[in-house]
Amino acid sequence: MRVVVTGSNGLVGRRLVSQLVERGHEVLGLARGARRVEGAFTYASVDLTDGPLLTETLGGFKAEAIINPAGMTDVDGCERDPVAAWNANVGVVATLARAARTAGAHLVHVSTDYVFDGEDGPYAVDAKPNPRGTYALTKHAGEQTVKALLPAAQWSIARTAVVSGWPSTGKNNFGYWLISTLARGQPVPLFSDQWVSTSHATNVAAMVAELAEKRLPGLWHTCGAEVMDRVTFGRRVCERFGFDPALIKPSRMADVKLASPRPAKSGLDVTKTAQTLDARPWTVARALDELFRERQEHP
């Protein structure tokens, strides 16, 4: 299959590219600036918000599937620059959806648990979104864009949450930040009042790739299998990596001034994914084993 992966330098994007190549697909990775990931795939440096350039690049490749993990993922940054957030999280999606429509390609768009308000998670795939804050609003608008521009059989929306992976891609991710801070013996403040479905990027990529390969339409929750508060997750990290659990300092989200609101009682129900895909959502234990292995491989 000929597959385009946007944001191929990113945390999920780079794993998508390598897994798809390993499975014999012909891959075009699109990202900004120089190629940052090696592998047997074609790379094009494209600012995805340049609609005409993106359309031309896609037209030349004749993709059968387009996977879009790219986006403006800095939640507080989106609050500060809503125009950039809209362009990256909605405008790009519109260009990709139009190109998929023209080519008859399947579009898998990666979204987030932030489309929900976090009042009463975990959320089923068909729960009603209620986004709060610019990142959440633009990611939800991205989902709506996909639904508006493509026939129902031609899109998948894959929501994920709190994705970790080692090493860092240059941006901090939750697991990387947590493990590297604890390894230096420094205290880590973690919210005790925020529940999330933590995920590992390798597992997210495997589920998302399968959606593209099988052209499975509709809404999917492609995240870890368990919902827990961040303090409990931090203590599980200490247990697995042998760090001092006293370094975990419980704090309350309610006491911190954040530029953008965060869902408190979040979490995504993965029943449909677990029952349908060969790539199952990982438990926290499985994800921590993989982080441990990755850190040994890239100390």
Ligand X SMILES: NC(=O)c1ccc[n+]([C@@H]2O[C@H](COP(=O)([O-])OP(=O)(O)OC[C@H]3O[C@@H](n4cnc5c(N)ncnc54)[C@H](OP(=O)(O)O)[C@@H]3O)[C@@H](O)[C@H]2O)c1
Q: Please list the active-site residues.
A: 135
Minimum distance from residue 243 beta carbon to ligand X (Å): 21
Reading the block at residue 288, the tokens are 């921590």
Minimum distance from residue 196 beta carbon to ligand X (Å): 9
Q: Which amino acid would we find at residue 268?
A: L
Looking at the Cβ atoms of 33 and 299, the one nearer to ligand X is: 33
Looking at the Cβ atoms of 73 and 105, the one nearer to ligand X is: 73
- Cα 269 from Cα 271, distance rounded (Å): 6
Nearest to 109 by CA among 160, 175, 57, 169: 160
Other CB atoms within 10 Å distance of the CB of residue 71:
26
Site residues, ligand X (CB under 6 A): 7, 9-13, 31-33, 47-49, 69-73, 88, 110, 112, 139, 160-163, 169, 171, 173
Q: To which H or E segment does residue 297 belong?
A: helix 284-297
Q: Note the Cα 107 to chain centre separation in Å.
A: 15
Minimum distance from residue 175 beta carbon to ligand X (Å): 9
Looking at the Cβ atoms of 110 and 178, the one nearer to ligand X is: 110
Strands (E) across the chain are located at: 2-6, 26-31, 42-45, 65-68, 106-112, 155-160, 163-164, 188-191, 195-196, 199-200, 218-221, 228-229, 248-251
Minimum distance from residue 127 beta carbon to ligand X (Å): 16
Please say whether the beta carbons of 84 and 95 come within 8 A: no
CA quadruple 287, 22, 10, 114: dihedral, nearest 10: -50
Backbone angles phi, psi at 127, to 5 degrees: -65, 155
Cβ-closest position to ligand X: 10
Q: What is the chain's length?
A: 299
- Cα 223 from Cα 161, distance rounded (Å): 6
Looking at the Cβ atoms of 139 and 140, the one nearer to ligand X is: 139
Looking at the Cβ atoms of 16 and 277, the one nearer to ligand X is: 16
Looking at the Cβ atoms of 71 and 131, the one nearer to ligand X is: 71
Please say whether the beta carbons of 164 and 173 come within 8 A: yes
